[in-house]
Amino acid sequence: MREKGLYSVQAVIKAIDLLETLAQDGDNPTIAVIEKKLDLSHNKAFRLLATLEDKGLVEKDGLTGTYCLGLQAVEMAQHILKSDNLIRLAHPIMVELAHKLDEAVYITVMNNDEVLFLDMVDSFQQIKAVDLVGRRFPILSNAAGKVIKSVSSIDLFKRRGIQHSKELEEELEEIRRKGVAVDFNGLGDGICAVAVVIRDYAGKVVGALTLLAPSFRMLQDRLEKEVIPCMMEGAEQLSMKFGYTRCYA
């Protein structure tokens, strides 16, 4: 086991210290204050601030010469809080679904053009699907990505250069109509995935509840009568926690 800090990069440590200083201080400091507080030379402090400013993590007030956290730092914090809040709210429902269906249940989100598997409640089965927590997959390669994409703006993906075949658009339209995506082998041979979207108070997609199981346990009759209804009910309960109210015609 390596000693803590053995491979630490001092510039990275100082950058984190600087961001923490800007986050904690009530007053926006000048470069002179930052130099003194972090024991940095003027040149090092200037280069560090300039780098963080280029990345949008730090902003400089041109009139006062003071520094504060940039919009990118705030957005990163919001993403972290959102993920943490999503996991906190989703976990009890995931536990209930995993116990009821005795299959692994995940919470998944879209991150750039990929699906990220955030959290999982496992089944008690001896034969399980592989643990995917922390793994990322191309958004169109699996049920979670397809169900999220089916209710997201198509224009958003066109701006990102993602092309759609007519066959794919028809598949996504069917998923949007049914409210659930099912795929076999998208995340690996012999794996079945069932995914349903979670929405917030504005109807925007927050993520997807995703069940993973060996394909041999996901017979069509079980999917239609047990798995899909339970997953859709769980997604509706979780969406309600985010303030979503379904509108009935």
Q: What is the distance between the alpha carbons of residues 108 and 144, in angstroms, rounded to a whole number? A: 7
212 against 111, higher pLDDT:
212
CA terminus-to-terminus distance, the chain: 61
> Which residues 6+ apart lie within 8 Å of 106 measured at CB?
94, 117, 118, 119, 120, 132, 133, 144, 209, 210, 211, 212
> How does the average pLDDT of the chain come out, rounded?
84
Report pLDDT for 134: 83
89-98 pLDDT per residue, tens: 899 999 999 9
Under DSSP, the state recorded for 28 is P
Q: Which domains does the chain have, with CATH numbers?
A: 10-69 (1.10.10.10), 78-241 (3.30.450.40)
0.85 exceeded by pTM: no
> Which residues 6+ apart lie within 8 Å of 222 measured at CB?
none
Instruction: Note whether 69 and 52 are within 8 A (CB).
Output: no
184 against 23, higher pLDDT:
184
Instruction: Note whether 83 and 94 are within 8 A (CB).
Output: no
192, pLDDT greater than 90: yes
- Rounded mean pLDDT of 222-231? 96
- Rounded mean pLDDT of 112-132? 85
- Rounded mean pLDDT of 36-61? 91
Q: Please, which pLDDT band fits residue 74 given cuts at 50, 70 and 90?
A: low
136-164 pLDDT per residue, tens: 899 889 999 999 998 875 544 554 455 56
